[in-house]
Amino acid sequence: MPSQSSSEPWPVPDPPGERLTDPAIHHFLLARVAELCGLSRAKFPGSQPVSFNVSSIEEKLMKYDFWTCEKSDGQRLLIVIVVNSATEEQETWLLDRKEQFYKVSGLHFPYWESPDLPLRDTIIDGELVIDEDPKTKERTLRYYAFDCLVVNGMNVTGRPLLKRFGRLREWVVAPFERILKQIPEWRDELPFEVIVKKQELSYHIAQVLNVHIPSLLHGHDGIIFTNAESPYVFGTDENILKWKKPSENTIDFKLNLRFPPSPADPSEPDFYAKPVFLLSVWHGGSRGQDKYQFFDELEVDDDEWEKFKEMGQIDDTIVECFWDTERGAWRYFRHRNDKENGNHASVVQKVLASIEDGVEIETLLSKSDAIRAAWKAREQSRRGEQTPAPPQHRSSAPQQGPRGSVPPITPGPGAYPATTPGVMAGLRR
């Protein structure tokens, strides 16, 4: 976690694969993602957490069923799986928060009921991290999947996390693992491993802190609480809570450098001098017309400035910063090259509130028993209200999207529409 010490942040991996540069295909894929998710406009659909504060315990954890896990320190990416109607081959793309696509090879996701068929029209959510073996120092790229938006054309965002997580585990990752056991040579071709992220019930906070986090092979920067009963929300989700120690909360700002006048020519900046480091907050706006307002200055030591100069271009970049209570100043933690913009002004206000009115870990742990008691009471209440449901026949036919879901769109030049599944290319090679 970022702190007031000089500890180095864990490395954030770059997306593997080939970045998509064809504007026509990029437009199609982004539009296809939007249609599959039921969005009115094309954008990165990933949900974003809000900061944890004192009221989160009574208003959220005590009233609703939440799951919890550590917040991995990596790159947030969606995996988008489609079938190219021209080649009948499955294609796997990574979509980042900058709305860039990366085509990756070596991943084979079979349809869960018929392994000879490829999974199609599927979007899963997760974090790509670099795991490092503490003994050998060998590094492995792994994707920790934690949610599911669309499975085989079925939009599941309206279902509770409990159901979505089941689809992710049983319909996407489990068949993927089985096919690797059947064809072990495919494991050598993997661009990264795919793992379902382990979740705990919200009152098992100590399990996350004392068991999960110490055994991690990658960095982390807090704890995530996700409402197990709520649907998937595109953008900021009030039912996903990000907890950090109050002193370790961070904000992503835009950094701008202002150099003093040159002694030789006051009309020109002195690029050899140490500049003033300005931090600005994002107030929205369309791409290319983003609105930023000055917020504060970043305090940078001389040795930090020397490191900055080695980075090259850092003006007009996004930086993650923490508040140093001893210095009473914002300090640099790391660059966020994976982000198009800094935190929105509304998010900044919530993070500031978490810094001023945050929850220490001792307080959180002390509430575990009360959270468990409230959970059990809700469980007992639901059990008393439920009546047995009639058994439903389960069809063996491939599941289609619900009534009113988006049909495949008409392909244009260079497009990659996902239509009915074809034979997975090379499945039995």
Q: Domain boundaries in the chain?
A: 18-244, 250-359
Q: Find where tokens 């379902």 sit.
A: 196
The average pLDDT across 295-309 equals 92
CATH no. for 18-244: 3.30.470.30
Question: What is the pLDDT at residue 146?
Answer: 97
Assess whether pLDDT exceeds 70 at residue 287. no
Q: How confident is the model at residue 327 (pLDDT cuts 50, 70, 90)?
A: confident
Active-site pick, 43, 60, 63, 71 = 71
Whether the Cβ atoms of residue 199 and residue 69 lie closer than 8 Å to each other = yes
Measured CA to CA, the distance from residue 194 to residue 127 in angstroms comes to 10
Least Cα distance to 63 among 382, 365, 375 occurs for 375
Q: How confident is the model at residue 393 (pLDDT cuts 50, 70, 90)?
A: very low
Query: Which CATH superfamily is 250-359 part of?
Result: Nucleic acid-binding proteins (2.40.50.140)
Q: How confident is the model at residue 422 (pLDDT cuts 50, 70, 90)?
A: very low
Whether the Cβ atoms of residue 409 and residue 158 lie closer than 8 Å to each other = no
Question: What is the pLDDT at residue 59?
Answer: 95
Establish whether 309 is a catalytic residue. no
Assess whether pLDDT exceeds 90 at residue 245. no
Measured CA to CA, the distance from residue 89 to residue 46 in angstroms comes to 26
> What is the token pair recorded at 355?
């810094």
Question: What is the pLDDT at residue 328?
Answer: 87
Question: What is the pLDDT at residue 5?
Answer: 35
Which region among 58-62, 86-90, 96-100, 218-222 has the lowest average model confidence (pLDDT)? 218-222
